[in-house]
Amino acid sequence: MRIVSLLPAASEIVSALGLCDALVGRSHECDYPPELVDLPALTRSRVDSSLPSDRLDAEVRRVISEGPICSLDEEQLAALAPDVVVTQEACAVCAVSYEQVVDSLRRGACRAQVVCLRPSRLGDVIGDVRRVAEACGVARRGESFAAELSGRLAALAARVRPPRPRVAVLEWLAPPMLAGHWVPELIEAAGGMALGATPGEPSPYVAWDAVHALAPDALVVAPCGFDLGRTLAEAQPVASRLRSLAPRILLMDGNAYMNRPGPRLVDAADAIAGWLRGGDVPTNVGMSLPT
């Protein structure tokens, strides 16, 4: 079995299924588990991700208006001769599209099975574990792992006691954006009341006044694609504004734990649940906004 994963969350799923050794190619963003970085990267972005948030947002809008943000190395993909290629149709910004992959495989005369992930809800992510496992020939392993993830979420839900704290999650800071898709359900699983975004729907841009009007008891800041260090750097210039929104503020490694529709979403729910109950979060996951 030869597997190419063109989505970071898919790489995490494949690895969690015990198939890391079967991976032969990845996207430029697939960085977990760490050993994947030695694999050839088949994609690259046309956007400089080191730009400040406001400029990065504007540049993404500009580039996507002209065509795909990510390019795919068709020649290298064909040379790898994969049996399975995992891609996505959930986000035009985060990875190459399903259409790009299918067209590239056709031009390269490659007959790989294409698994296209379209997660929008937390349950979809667990369903994708089963779909990837089945395509890779380990369906029973996928059922077991999916059941484990579901069981962990159910155990969290069983510990929830009212009143639930009101929680807003910011997926971007300049301009502000509330986290949609699977994040509201993740917050509910962690014991909070998710504010401002609809489960399963895209993340909406909002005004700062609108976030203030939500009156959150707690604020989670997890910008899309940013690790914890980058999140801290982006939050510091607006720290006073953030503190005006909620009495408790958690900065998170959104790239690893909130934005990717993969297994570590359950780790994020577990960490947030503990934080909402007054505990600390693992240092690799998040930190309180420094005073």
- Model confidence pLDDT, tens digit, residues 139-194: 999 999 999 999 999 999 999 989 999 999 999 999 999 999 999 999 999 999 99
Question: What average pLDDT does the chain have?
Answer: 93
For residue 69, is pLDDT > 80? no
Residue with tokens 């600390």: 280
Domain of residue 49, CATH code: 3.40.50.1980
CB-CB contact of 131 with 118 (8 Å): no
Q: Count the domains in the chain.
A: 2
**Structure confidence at residue 93 (pLDDT):** 65
- Model confidence pLDDT, tens digit, residues 30-42: 999 999 999 999 9
Question: What's the rounded Cα separation, in Å, for the pair 17 and 129?
Answer: 8
Amino acid found at 111: R
Same domain, 107 and 197: no
The answer as to whether 123 is a domain residue is: no
Question: What's the rounded Cα separation, in Å, for the pair 23 and 11?
Answer: 8
Question: What's the rounded Cα separation, in Å, for the pair 16 and 138?
Answer: 12
The answer as to whether 8 is a domain residue is: yes
- Average the pLDDT over 245-266 and give the result: 97
Q: How confident is the model at residue 47 (pLDDT cuts 50, 70, 90)?
A: confident
Both tokens of residue 273? 């649940």
For residue 96, is pLDDT > 80? yes
Q: What is the DSSP string of 4-35?
A: EE-SHHHHHHHHHTT-GGGEEEE-TT--SSGG
> Is 0.85 surpassed by the pTM of this model?
yes
Q: How confident is the model at residue 225 (pLDDT cuts 50, 70, 90)?
A: very high
CB-CB contact of 145 with 135 (8 Å): no
**Structure confidence at residue 13 (pLDDT):** 98
Question: What's the rounded Cα separation, in Å, for the pair 146 and 150?
Answer: 6
Q: What is the DSSP string of 79-121?
A: HH--SEEEEESS-TTTS-BHHHHHHHHHHTT--PEEEEE---S
Question: What's the rounded Cα separation, in Å, for the pair 164 and 161?
Answer: 7
Same domain, 67 and 171: no
Question: Can you give the residue range of the structural domain that contains 278?
Answer: 162-288
For residue 67, is pLDDT > 70? no
